[in-house]
Amino acid sequence: MLLYVKVLAILTVILGIAAQASRKRVEYESVPQFLFHNSKLCGDPFSDAVWLPVLDLCTIECDLSSQYCVENEELAQQCKTLPDDCQTLLRKSIKQIQRHIRSQRNTS
């Protein structure tokens, strides 16, 4: 009986960790969400009053693993490079999302 309780407790902890990891993947389904959630590491994307982040309307090609798209009031767009530590975490998050998507396809 005691072994059953211990196993049940361990399973509860494992399921809790898996649920937290799953929620994190959902939070980072887009680069803007990632940037806003990790602004301490990545910097405030709204800190430049002239160049503001473009969420889903970027018409130029930025490297999604190292840059984000911004535009000015004339609607000119450019890619802004992320700090190195932010790029590392973003690449890791992108890989987690890709693995999650592949695993969902394999179970369907």
pLDDT for 64-98, tens place per residue? 889 999 999 999 999 999 999 999 999 998 888 78
Q: Between helices 2-27 and 84-107, what is the axis angle to 10°?
A: 120
pLDDT for 44-57, tens place per residue? 988 999 999 987 78
Element (H, E) at 89: helix 84-107
pTM, to two decimals: 0.62
> How many domains does the chain contain in total?
1
Question: Which residue segment(s) compose the domain that 68 sits in?
Answer: 2-107
Which stretches of 4-91 are assigned E, i.e. beta strand? 52-53, 67-71, 77-81
